[in-house]
Amino acid sequence: MTPGGNNYVSNVWRENIFDGTVVFCTGGGGDICSAQVKALVYLGANACIIGRNIEKTEKVARDIAMVRPGAKVLGYGSVDVRNPRLLREAVQKCASELGGIDFVIAGAAGNFLAPITQLSENAFKTVVEIDLVGAFNTLKATLPFLLQSASRAKSEKSARSGGRIIFLSAATYYTGVPLQAHALAAKAGIDVLAANTAIELGPRGVTANVIAPGPIANTEGMRRLTKPGNEKSVARIPLGRLGNVREIADATVYLFSDAGNYVNGEILVVDGGAWRTHGGDSSYDFEYPNFLLSDDNFGRLRTTKM
């Protein structure tokens, strides 16, 4: 491992374990998803990442490609996961240029803080469409290639894993938290979608699992949804700290590697135990339930919206 590799993947993994494989990732320009893809590319994969912002997506793709000499990482911008046609076009282009798709990360997401009293119907619908419908669209668009990859992986001539999809979710909906009805409803749907995918496509060799990240330091989500210096919130995390993107990337490597061959339909929570204590929960920057009963506090929330 190079020293830089330790920023996005642990040194416990054997190099080149993903040689000859291709990763397709939605939301690939984000902090967490880009780290996931970077780890896989470092370990031998090639990749396609998609996003809505052309310049950002292409830049992140170039940055990811630098982790391994000879790596091919394509960045497709102006692709909205809510648009099945655009997704199918990106998938076809990826498979054509890189030779197929073996692994998929459905990571596109949108979020903001809002109480139900201020949450418009359109805002609720938008988040559900990006997170949940977008995850379904990603599955549908990539499924033909996942099935092909799974078939190859099951053949005696192929020793590599393939035909696997990971959905990104969140553990906070297990208990529910204020200001997140839209996002957590979408994440609950994602978990059900993953479970049904595992049940229906498992017999054909495709595995579907969920990674539910907790509060991850230095990510857009933390910057958008929390206040700086929220020590009390961090103190409630059983492990006493925020997570880092490498820990999500390591979970991804595990599920896509041969170590995860028999893992299907599972939810892997990577949050230091935070969901059990509401540790790191952004909405607890406010005193519950007083802030929900005061109109004065709602003005503070408007600055956190997308």
Catalytic annotation, residues: 169, 187
What SS3 class is residue 53? coil
E strand or H helix that includes residue 144: helix 134-154
The DSSP-derived string for 63-112 is: HHHTTSTT--EEEE-S--TT-HHHHHHHHHHHHHHHS---EEEE------
Alpha carbon distance 112, 303 (integer Å): 9
DSSP lists the bridge partners of residue 23 as 47, 103
d(CA 138, CA 83) in angstroms, rounded, equals: 10
Q: How far apart are CA 98 and CA 300, in angstroms?
A: 47
Give the separation between CA 134 and CA 182, rounded to whole angstroms.
Answer: 15
Rounded to whole angstroms, how far apart are CA atoms 302 and 184?
19
- Distance (Å, whole) CA 204 – CA 282: 40
As given in the structure block, the two tokens for residue 301 are: 């929330």
